[in-house]
């Protein structure tokens, strides 16, 4: 005889899949959607509904990378990170 669940101190414990298959709130079977791996998507294919990637969404092959900018005031003795490259104005 197979043991389907465990009781500890009067409560059912253990894996729920042993005694209840995955189901929706209405009782029907679960249908899983096939999702693309967000880490393998290029930046222009991502939308608001795309899962959060674990890596940067930047495109290293992009040719219009901004390399110039303006020098930030008040950097003191800083030798790195003294240029602002974002949209200015």
Mean pLDDT value across residues 50-74: 75
Assess whether pLDDT exceeds 80 at residue 65.
no
Assess whether pLDDT exceeds 70 at residue 1.
no
At 26-44, the pLDDT tens digits run 888 888 888 778 888 888 8
Residue of 80, 81, 83, 62 lying closest to 72 (CA atoms) = 83
Give the Cβ contact number of residue 45 at 10 Å.
Answer: 11
Mean pLDDT value across residues 13-27: 78
Mean pLDDT of the chain: 77
- Is residue 82 a contact partner of residue 68, using CB atoms and an 8 Å limit? no
**3-7, 23-27, 84-88: range with highest mean pLDDT:** 23-27
Give the Cβ contact number of residue 2 at 10 Å.
Answer: 4
Assess whether pLDDT exceeds 50 at residue 63.
yes
For 21, the 3-state DSSP assignment is: coil
- Is residue 38 a contact partner of residue 52, using CB atoms and an 8 Å limit? yes
CA 80 from chain centre, in angstroms, equals 30
């Amino acid at each position: 005889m197979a043991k389907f669940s465990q009781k500890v101190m009067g409560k059912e414990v253990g894996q729920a899949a042993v005694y209840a298959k995955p189901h929706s709130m209405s009782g029907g079977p679960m249908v899983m959607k096939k999702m693309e791996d967000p880490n393998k998507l290029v930046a222009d294919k991502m939308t608001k509904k795309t899962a959060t990637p674990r890596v940067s969404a930047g495109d290293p092959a992009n040719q219009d990378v901004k390399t110039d900018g303006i020098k930030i005031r008040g950097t003191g003795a800083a030798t790195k990170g003294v240029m602002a490259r974002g949209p200015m104005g």
